[in-house]
Homo-oligomer: A and B are copies of this chain.
Amino acid sequence: MTTTTTIAAISTSPGVGGIAVIRVSGKNAVKNCDAIFKAKNEKISLYKQFAKIVSYGNMVNKTGEIIDEVLATVFRSPHSFTGEDVVEISCHGSVYVQQTILQLLIENGCILAQPGEFTQRAFMNGKIDLSQAEAVADLIASSSAASHRMAMHQMRGGFSSELMKLRTQLLNFVSLIELELDFNEEDVEFANRIQLKSLAIAIEQLIMKLSDSFRVGNALKNGIPVALVGETNVGKSTLLNVLLNEEKAIVSDIHGTTRDSIEDAVNINGITFRFIDTAGIRDTKDKIESMGIERTYQKIELAAIVLWIVDCTELTEHIEWLTDRIAKKAIGKKVILVFNKIDKIAEEERDILNQLFEQFEGERIYISARDRINTDGLKNALIAAAQIPQINSDDVIVSNIRHYEALQNAHIAICRVIDGLDSGISGDFLSQDIRECMHYLGEITGSISNDEILGNIFGKFCIGK
């Protein structure tokens, strides 16, 4: 990647809007923009204008035709998002105007930015580390309070600054150990093994804490999978619709959320639940239907929470058999037993109901999906089952699978370091393990990176960011 080029892109959401913003970054950003910008106040040019002051003027093409009235703001290196000279052009949101101005910029020497290239330049120029760059993408994609909060924290430095500090301390030790190797014959110890061990233990504990947080981080970022299971006609679809409908107003208020992702996802108290609808379970001898039901059991395995729905008015003889099957499939998962159509039975019948399910040890909720009785109770039960701690804006949470994998690898290496110290292995093996741990920690912050990693990360960005 060369940063001698000057890049340009439309940074706002594609399509027609009131206004749009075109961003230009690079050595010639000011020059290329100034060539097509004529300020209303003739004394002003983007060259002479102070940084961060908005100038009002026209975008004109080669023949002097006015393409649009715009606002242009210059940010000078290094005080800009990318660390390079940046010009932001705020124009009318016509697609034609946006494309024409972009074309003019390209005619004047800019090249079209690649996806994420502005953020990549910010990383290259040391304005942010790699984990912060990834957080920018997460922030833009965030659609719930919790995922937003995690991305925001990570963008502001998050845990990566802490990792960097520990990594630098490791570097000091490894340098000393490698120095020992130069004095091989003399049996000296420059690196204090006791201090090194306590550092290694501190790192191991932090890595464990971060790895553990991934369960929560991943759930918040991607939503918590919830399977709805039960016999046919117990009201699964009605319940799903009620959950979706009640919250749909919130979901559909958010423009741009694609239909397929909202179809069966609900945001309750800032936590996203993804509902996996399943075929109704019933005891059947029909082969094809049995296969469908087998798939239902498989889907239970994908879920973190299982809502087992029972029609209070239609109890079948399969209860025991079902309890058994669901319990077997749902080991390690939260199962909530939902008694539906509760308004249709008398108070004393509830006791009979509960006795029938006395084998079941999980939580029970009594609702009527159709009449929306106690659906709030069900939502609270879902939130409780999700076991998501209250996230504060300075909590350390890993939500990125790439970070999680690097942490796993770093953990293996640091454990080897601790074991090695305990068993008094030689400096060269120790140094190798420490370097491996440093490598994986460095991958998170981008101290260690390669084109493939960078390509993977920035390729997922939108153009203009």
Which A positions have Cβ atoms within 8 angstroms of B? 9, 11-21, 23, 52-54, 65-69, 73, 75, 88, 90, 92-97, 99-100, 118, 136, 139-145, 147-149, 152, 155-156, 253-257, 393, 461-465
Contact = CB atoms under 8 A, between A and B. Distances in A.
Nearest to A75: B54
Given A12-B12, A12-B93, A52-B53, A464 B17 contact: yes
Given A68-B152, A96-B148, 20 more contacts: A12-B13, A12-B18, A13-B16, A14-B17, A17-B462, A17-B464, A18-B464, A21-B90, A52-B54, A54-B75, A66-B152, A67-B148, A67-B152, A93-B462, A93-B465, A95-B257, A96-B145, A96-B254, A97-B148, A100-B148
Contacts of A156: 66, 69
A136 B92 contact: yes
B19 A142 contact: no
A143 B95 contact: yes
A5 to B, nearest CB: 18
B12 A94 contact: no
Q: Classify the interface of chain A: helix, strand, loop or mixed.
A: mixed
17 contacts: A9-B18, A12-B19, A12-B20, A13-B16, A15-B255, A17-B462, A17-B465, A18-B462, A18-B464, A53-B53, A53-B54, A65-B149, A67-B148, A94-B139, A94-B143, A97-B140, A97-B142
A142 B90 contact: no
**Which residue of A16, A139, A141 has the most chain B CB atoms within 10 A of its CB atom?**
A16
A433 to B, nearest CB: 38
**Which residue of A54, A100, A136, A147 has the most chain B CB atoms within 10 A of its CB atom?**
A54
Given A96-B145, A96-B254, A11 B17 contact: yes
A236 to B, nearest CB: 29
B13 A15 contact: yes
Contacts of A255: 14-15, 95
A132 to B, nearest CB: 11
A225 to B, nearest CB: 21
Contacts of A75: 54
B15 A15 contact: yes
A140 B18 contact: yes
A99 B270 CA distance: 14
Contacts of A93: 11-13, 140, 462, 465
A106 B141 CA distance: 23
B16 A11 contact: no
A23 to B, nearest CB: 8
